Amino acid sequence: MNEINREDFFENRFILETLPPRGTNPDKYIAFCKEAVDYGAQVIAVTDLPMGSARVSPIAPAHMLSELGFNVLMHFSRTTRNAIRIEGDLIAVHMLGIKNLLILSGDDPRVGTYPFSSSIEDFSIYDVFKLTKLLNEKGEDLAGLKIYGSFSFNPGGVFSPFEKDLNQTLERMELKIQNGCSFFVSQPIFNADTIIKFLEKSEAEEIFKKTKIYIALMVFESFQQLEHFSKVPGVYVPKEYFRQKDDSHLEEYSKHQCVSIIEKLAPYVHGFYLTSTTRKMETIKVVSDAVMSQY
C-alpha cells in the first residue's frame, strides 16, 4: 500500500476551523477561505454538521478547496452515519483527494435542526480509526473484504484535558494511536496552566512522543456567542470571560487570552487550531502572527 506522507500536513502550525455553507452556492465560503489564507491560516478545517445543524456535508466544500490547492482538514463524524455509510464515505472522500481527517463522534443530533434524529452507534470511534488503518495498510475493511486501490489517510482525533480521570483520557488517546491516529486537537483551552500539568504528566509525555498535538482556541465576539458555547459539552469557559464589560471588551479579552496561551504552550505542542467562533480577518491575523512568532 501507499506510504503515508504526512509531513506536508505537519509543516503547518495554524489550522482555522470553518462552517460550510447552509445552501448550494459555495462562492462566499470559498472567498472567505481564500482571504483567511491570505491573513495567515495554513490549513482550512471543514466541520461536519456542527451542533447537529443541517447544512452541506463537508465532503463537497473540502473537495472544492482541495482542488483549489488549499490544505484541508475535513471533520468526519461517526454518529450521523451507519457502518455502511462510514465506509462508503471514507472511500468517496479519498477518491476526491481528501486525506486529512479529524475523526469525531460528532455532536448530538437531538440538539440540532431535527431533534427527532437518531444517533447511530454502529461503529465505535476506535472502529473508525481501525478502518482507516486497515485501508491504509492492507486495502481491506473491517469485514476483511478487499477494497481496490491504495489509501493514504492521515487521521486525527480529539481529546479533553479536563476530565476527572486523566488516566482514562490517556488510555483513550493510546487506543486511537494504536489504531492509526497521527495527531490530536484538544477541546478549547482557556487556561494554559491546566493543560501544561496534563502535558507534563509522565504517561502523557510518552503518548505525545508518538503523535502531534494542536491546541484549540476560541475568540468570542459577543456575550450571546459566549453563552451559547459555554453550554457545549467539553467547553469549560472561566468566569473571567463573563465579567467583561461588553461585547467589544469580551472580544479583546478573548484575543489577549489566545495570544497568551499560544506563548505559554508553543514549547509543548505542535500547533494551534482556531475554532469557528470568529470570522474576522483581523482576529485571524492576530492569532496567526502569534503562532508564527513561536515556530
Best CA proximity match to 196, nearest among 148, 265, 242: 265
Q: What is the pLDDT of residue 56?
A: 95
Place of cell 498535538: 213
Best CA proximity match to 191, nearest among 158, 253, 237: 237
Q: Which residues pair with 214 in a beta bridge?
A: 185, 271
pLDDT in single tens digits along all 295 residues of the chain:
444 557 789 999 999 999 999 999 999 999 999 999 999 999 999 999 887 788 999 999 999 999 999 999 999 999 999 999 999 999 999 999 999 999 999 877 777 778 888 889 999 999 999 999 999 999 999 999 999 999 999 999 999 988 888 889 999 999 999 999 999 999 999 999 888 988 888 777 888 888 999 999 999 999 999 998 888 877 889 999 999 999 999 999 999 999 999 999 999 999 999 999 999 999 999 999 999 999 9
- Apex 42 CA angle, 39 and 48, nearest 5: 105
Question: Strand 271-274 relative to strand 154-159: parallel, antiparallel, unpaired?
Answer: unpaired
115 Cβ neighbours under 8 A, 6+ residues apart: 109
- Three-class SS of the chain: CCCCCCHHHHCCCEEEEECCCCCCCCHHHHHHHHHHHHCCCCEEEECCCHHHCCCCCCHHHHHHHHHCCCCEEEEEECCCCCHHHHHHHHHHHHHCCCCEEEEECCCCHHHCCCCCCCCCCCCCHHHHHHHHHHHHHCCECCCCCECCCCCCCEEEEEECCCCCCHHHHHHHHHHHHHCCCCEEEECCCCCHHHHHHHHHCHHHHHHHCCCEEEEEECCCCCHHHHHHHHCCCCCCCCHHHHCCCCHHHHHHHHHHHHHHHHHHHCCCCCEEEECCCCCCHHHHHHHHHHHHCCC
CB atoms within 10 A of CB 150: 12
197 Cβ neighbours under 8 A, 6+ residues apart: none
Residue 143 in grid coordinates = 469485514
